[in-house]
Every structure is written in C-alpha cells, then in structure tokens.
Amino acid sequence: TRSTRPQRMLKAVQKNGTKGNPESVISAIDYFCKHSEWAMNVGDEKGSILDSVVTEVNPSTVLELGTYCGYSTVRIARLLSPGTKLITLEFNPVNAAVARQIIAYAGLQDKVILVEGSSGDLIPQMKERFGIMTFDFIFLDHWKDRYLPDIKLFEECGLLRKGSVLLADNVICPGTPEYLEYVRNSPRYESKYYPAHLEYTKVEDGLEKSVFLG
C-alpha cells in the first residue's frame, strides 16, 4: 500500500538529518513541510514559542497529547533537564511507529515515553502507570474537539497543581472555541494568547497558555 505522509517525512529526516542531532531533525522536518509536503507539525514559528514556554517552566513532569510524527516531542525533549522524561500519547499505531523512529533518530529516546492509546483512556492511568502526582507542563495538539473534555479529565484526576502550565496549539486554526471559552472564563485558570500563524503558512493561528490556579 502507498506510504503515508508521516512515513515520507521519516525518510526525509533519515536522508537530510544528522543522527543524534535534534536541531537537524527539526530543520529536516520543517524543510520537508515547506518544500515537499505540508504536514500538521506545530512548525518553526509556533515551535519557537513552545521552546520559550518550556524553557521558562523547566518542567519535571511533562505530557503531550497527540504525538503525530514526534516533531514537538523532539522540540520539547531536547530542552528538558537531564533525567527528566516526557510522556506523549498517540493512538494511531502507524504515526506512533514513525514518531518512535524520528525521536530515536534525534537521539532522544531515553527522554521520551511514547504510549500508544487514546488520551481519554490513558489520562486516568497516569498516576498508577507512571507514578505521576501532577504535571508541570502539558502540550495539547490532538483532535481539537478533545481539548476541553481532556482538560476537565485532568482536573477530575487531580493531575494539575497550582502553577501547572497547559499550552494548546491551533486555538484559532482549526480552532478550539469551547476550550478557549472555558480557560478564558474559568476563575481557575490564568490564560494568555500567543499570536502566530498556522505552521508553514500565513494563516492566523496561535497558542494559548493557561496556568492552573489551584
């Protein structure tokens, strides 16, 4: 059967990247998306904002929803302190297989725990399976209509603490109106919008950073 876009992206990383060099993997994916095939990675512009938030938070516990090809996984993992690992959830096995290889090519496999499955099933298992008390940083980049149910699940499972930072991609395009309305109007969150553009385009998009107030 025909290859998938993530599989073609992996080939581009193996061809143009340098093994063990996360920056070269990020550049190879951005180049592929700009010159070969557009893909829904967070991209370089929003990726720089992601980098600055991760650096500012310097998290000890990290969760990503929607690994896709592992582009943002590599961006985040390369910035984590030694010994810190990030958990990333991906329910499409073909995408998960590509992401594992891209993460490994970047040399970051020891800093990443990729769990195959759906966030709705896995979030309630975080404490028992991974010994997580609360998350310092969460990156939301999965199905847009799942951002709101999943943030409520974080609250219900007691996975947020005073100061936990949630960063959400695509709050303008494709858009996550119910999520935005919730975090911007809830007294339990302090929210801030970071304007940018849809990856590799001039279309308006941005990231929403929401700090849980406890």
Ligand X SMILES: CCNc1ncnc2c1ncn2[C@@H]1O[C@H](/C=C/CNC(=O)c2cc(-c3ccc(F)cc3)cc(O)c2O)[C@@H](O)[C@H]1O
The only residue of 169, 171, 198, 207 in contact with Mg ion, by rule CB under 5 A: 169
CB of 166 to ligand X, least distance (A): 15
The only residue of 141, 172, 183, 209 in contact with ligand X, by rule CB under 6 A: 141
Annotation says 170 is catalytic: yes
Tell me the window of 72-80, 94-102, 110-118, 139-147 that interacts with Mg ion (CB under 5 A): 139-147
The only residue of 78, 100, 111, 146 in contact with ligand X, by rule CB under 6 A: 146
In the sheet that holds 204-212, the strands lie side by side as: 112-116, 86-90, 62-65, 137-140, 165-168, 204-212, 189-197
Q: Which residue is nearest to Mg ion (CB)?
A: 169
| Spatial contact of 196 and 203, defined as CB atoms under 8 Å apart | no
Annotation says 181 is catalytic: no
Closer to Mg ion by Cβ: residue 90 or 141: 141
Annotation says 90 is catalytic: no
Annotation says 141 is catalytic: yes
Annotation says 169 is catalytic: yes
The only residue of 28, 40, 80, 168 in contact with ligand X, by rule CB under 6 A: 40
Residue 170 as a binder of ligand X (CB under 6 A): the answer is yes
CB of 143 to ligand X, least distance (A): 4
Question: How many residues of this chain interact with Mg ion, rule: CB under 5 A?
Answer: 3
Residue 101 as a binder of ligand X (CB under 6 A): the answer is no
- The one-letter code for the residue type at 153 is L
Tell me the window of 80-88, 140-148, 177-185, 204-212 that interacts with Mg ion (CB under 5 A): 140-148
CB of 145 to Mg ion, least distance (A): 13
How far is residue 196's CA from residue 129's CA, in Å, rounded to a whole number? 36
Among residues 131, 102, 122, the alpha carbon closest in space to that of 27 is found at: 102
Residue 142 as a binder of ligand X (CB under 6 A): the answer is yes
Q: Tell me which of 41, 170, 208, 209 is the catalytic residue.
A: 170
Residues carrying an active site annotation: 141, 144, 169-170, 199
